[in-house]
């Protein structure tokens, strides 16, 4: 973990689940803490990336629409991004 880590998260789990987590962490040579943190962050990113409902104030919605309607600053860069194969599909 980073030296900048200052917050603590504590959870209680049944012994069987702790053993499962420990076994998985050991399998990939990680500590229980780093394994749980990595798994939690990954799950959080998936959940937040999958959001389809957003609530915006009138001002935020106006700015959002303006950003959508604005001309692209670099259309070639967008084309390159959209035509580049993702690493996980190679």
Contacts of 30 (CB under 8 A, 6+ apart): 38
Assigned domain for 50 exists: yes
pTM, full prediction: 0.56
Distance CA 33, CA 43 (A): 15
Assigned domain for 22 exists: yes
Assigned domain for 5 exists: no
Predicted pLDDT of residue 48:
87
Assigned domain for 77 exists: yes
Instruction: Identify the domain containing residue 30 by its residue range.
Output: 15-85
For the chain, give the mean pLDDT.
Answer: 91
Assigned domain for 36 exists: yes
Assigned domain for 55 exists: yes
Q: pLDDT by residue (tens digit) across 16-41?
A: 999 999 999 999 999 999 999 999 99
Assigned domain for 21 exists: yes
Assigned domain for 32 exists: yes
Total tally of structural domains belonging to the chain: 1
């Amino acid at each position: 973990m980073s030296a900048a880590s200052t917050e603590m998260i504590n959870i209680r789990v049944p012994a069987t689940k702790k053993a499962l987590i420990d076994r998985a962490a050991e399998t990939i040579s990680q500590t229980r803490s780093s394994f749980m943190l990595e798994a939690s962050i990954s799950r959080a990113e998936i959940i937040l990336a999958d959001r389809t409902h957003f609530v915006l104030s009138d001002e935020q919605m106006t700015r959002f629409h303006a950003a959508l309607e604005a001309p692209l600053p670099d259309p070639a860069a967008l084309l390159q991004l959209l035509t580049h194969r993702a690493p996980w599909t190679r």
